[in-house]
Structure 1
Amino acid sequence: MSAVVDPNGPHLVNIASNPVPEGARVGYFKTSDKVQLRYAIWPKSAGAHRGTICLVQGRTEFIEKYFETIADFRRRGFAVATFDWRGQGGSDRLIANRKLGHVERFEDYWTDLQSFHSQILLPDCPPPYYLVGHSMGGLASLYAGVNDRMMFDRIFLSAPMVALDNQPLSMAGMARVAETLSFLGLGHMPIGRKADKPASEATFPNNPLTGDIVRYVRMVDIVKADPSLEIGAPTIRWIASAMGAMAGAARDEFPAQVRIPVLMLAAARDGVVSSAATEQLGLRMRTGRHLVIAGARHELFMEMDVIRGQVFAAFDAFVTDQSA
């Protein structure tokens, strides 16, 4: 079966280098605070029934970026359900400048996930449910493990955004500065570096995301096919929200509050988030542990085959083999 797409509703970008996996159902749902989010679900494609993977993305990402990974999960016997966070991808943008990454509160991502769970996962997807989160989605997933231990059986994280390296202040200090600027009316202003450039074939050398040029160019091609999916720099309000959430994850009491089994994978060559912070958190968690993937950059699911093989070996040991 081909993707089910309402001609008057949402669609998935379908290009030769990144075709839509067969069997997709695509739609919109509205969160409890009335934000419209784009979602897609797929049935398993092979193997014994193992439940559903709920896949949540990092900042700037969108459903199409994960087609290859979705196929990998489906071949293992999992249905897959995913959505675009508010403010990015094919979901509602929150401010006038659609190209900026924005959220009012980091807790709003919990509202997105909770609404998706109740409206899409529970009625439409087979249990049990496993949460897989990357980067910003990894941090949101950790808070899901704090907020409700019954929603998911296990949480598997790729390079979770629990802290950033090389900042002038601590995460709490950065949050306070950004909160002050937001209070002064600057919350919708972008914050970024002059060196930051939109991804293109020319930006592949020394990029912080992946060492695999084919997967990197594929990400570029998706945005070329539909530029509306792209966002760039975050706003000061997003920085305040995210830094505050990372500061919360650094609190002494946080590791014990995560009450679901968790496996966190850190990338040894991560230039986006702090792998050291992931290691420290993993050592302090009662229900979690961590692994460091040698040679890997930030986008573990978009990395070279030898690295992706290690990622999925860890996933199989932690989720697939436990779901049999």
Structure 2
Amino acid sequence: MNVVDPNGPSLVNIASNPMPEGARVGYFKTPDNVQLRYAFWPKSEGKHRGTICLVQGRAEFIEKYFETIADFRKRGFSVATFDWRGQGGSDRLIDNPALGYVDRFEDYWTDLKSFHGHILLPECPPPYYLVGHSMGGLASLMAGARDRLMFDRIFLSAPMLALDGLPLSMAGMARVAEVLSFVGLGRMPVSRKADKPASEATFPNNPLTGDMLRYLRMVDVLNARPMLEIGAPTVRWAASAFGAMTVAGGDSFPASVRIPLLMLGAARDAVVSTNAIEQLGLRMRTGRHMVIPGARHELFMESDAIRGQVFAAFDAFITEQSG
């Protein structure tokens, strides 16, 4: 069944992926008039420690993080999260809603800053901690470089700093994608092996997680509400993302992030470059990194043993610092 908020949006609540109780669901609008779906949960146990602002990776959606949201709440945190523009239950930006699209990577900063102003500050208890995965990790890094006062600490899961196995550098890929966009091909899909629609048949050797139940749980959610899904990214999205990754790989970037920050890399990541995470971690003044052995890309969706390591790192870096 779906739990429907009077304001309009809803979250998918199914037996294999139950929604944590106490959700408040709504929409907010960005300054450029994009409607985004968000959800908020109060803490469920323990003393109050603040609010986790959870931002997702490309093609993800709020429902994917129900288990992780419950884990944060048990630690005394409220959790606020939203779907980025162009995915999940937020406004799609082009005629084909199945493709991943954004005009500029800075538009994700617009989303996050708007969420901070519209939802976090007026409605959620401080202090605020930013937790970002993959593409959301890169957007979180950019936020940390732009404004050191929005969040007290930043915790990143497999941030998208570079992609391995490409014919050119991130800057070179950005230039190619920008040229293709300029000549009118910005809405053309860019297919990658990693972007296959998830199903039971695609679980073996998938790049995301070694945990079959957590993998299939997401299949169940998308079967329940297919409109949450997006597939391949577009050339315009790729141009935006490669451009942002180029900035993150620049010589001056590490010193620009002045918020305490911890990045986790996955040792078996086949989606983003773990080496890039290690290199940036070594160069940051206020940040550091760890690599989780045996883990694939989606650290929060991995096996209990791997998630245990992820949350041990989270507790040492945020939970124990928030008391």
* Structure 1 residue aligned with 2:135: 136
Q: Which runs of 5+ in 2 are unaligned?
A: none
Deviations 1:266-313 (A, max 9, x none): 000000000000000000000000000000000000000000000000
* Structure 1 residue aligned with 2:293: 294
* Structure 2 residue aligned with 1:305: 304
Q: How does 1:22-41 map to 2 (within 5 A)?
A: 22-41=21-40
* Cα distance change on mapping 1:266 and 1:180 into 2, 3 Å: same
Deviations 1:215-249 (A, max 9, x none): 00001110000000000000000000000000000
For residues 247 and 8 of structure 1, the distance between their equivalents in structure 2, rounded to whole angstroms, comes to 40
* Cα distance change on mapping 1:42 and 1:195 into 2, 3 Å: closer
Could you tell me whether the CA contact under 8 Å between 1:4 and 1:25 is conserved in 2? Answer: no
Q: TM-score of the superposition, structure 2-length normalised?
A: 0.98
* Structure 1 residue aligned with 2:282: 283
Could you tell me whether the CA contact under 8 Å between 1:5 and 1:25 is conserved in 2? Answer: no
* Cα distance change on mapping 1:110 and 1:308 into 2, 3 Å: same
For residues 192 and 131 of structure 2, the distance between their equivalents in structure 1, rounded to whole angstroms, comes to 30
Identity of aligned residues (%): 81
Q: Which runs of 5+ in 1 are unaligned?
A: none
* Structure 2 residue aligned with 1:257: 256
For residues 309 and 320 of structure 1, the distance between their equivalents in structure 2, rounded to whole angstroms, comes to 14
Q: TM-score of the superposition, structure 1-length normalised?
A: 0.98
For residues 196 and 115 of structure 2, the distance between their equivalents in structure 1, rounded to whole angstroms, comes to 33
For residues 257 and 323 of structure 1, the distance between their equivalents in structure 2, rounded to whole angstroms, comes to 24
Could you tell me whether the CA contact under 8 Å between 2:144 and 2:258 is conserved in 1? Answer: yes
* Structure 2 residue aligned with 1:229: 228
**How far does residue 193 in structure 1 lie from its aligned partner after superposition?**
3.7
The ranges of structure 1 where at least 4 consecutive aligned residues each deviate by more than 2 angstroms after the TM superposition are 3-8, 193-197
CA RMSD in angstroms, aligned pairs only: 1.1
For residues 193 and 175 of structure 2, the distance between their equivalents in structure 1, rounded to whole angstroms, comes to 23
**How far does residue 198 in structure 1 lie from its aligned partner after superposition?**
1.1
**How far does residue 32 in structure 1 lie from its aligned partner after superposition?**
1.2
* Structure 2 residue aligned with 1:61: 60
* Cα distance change on mapping 1:201 and 1:165 into 2, 3 Å: same
* Structure 2 residue aligned with 1:160: 159
For residues 284 and 34 of structure 1, the distance between their equivalents in structure 2, rounded to whole angstroms, comes to 38
* Cα distance change on mapping 1:195 and 1:8 into 2, 3 Å: closer
Q: Secondary structure at the match of 1:12?
A: strand
Q: How does 1:117-196 map to 2 (within 5 A)?
A: 117-193=116-192
For residues 193 and 172 of structure 1, the distance between their equivalents in structure 2, rounded to whole angstroms, comes to 19
Deviations 1:7-30 (A, max 9, x none): 560000010011111000000000
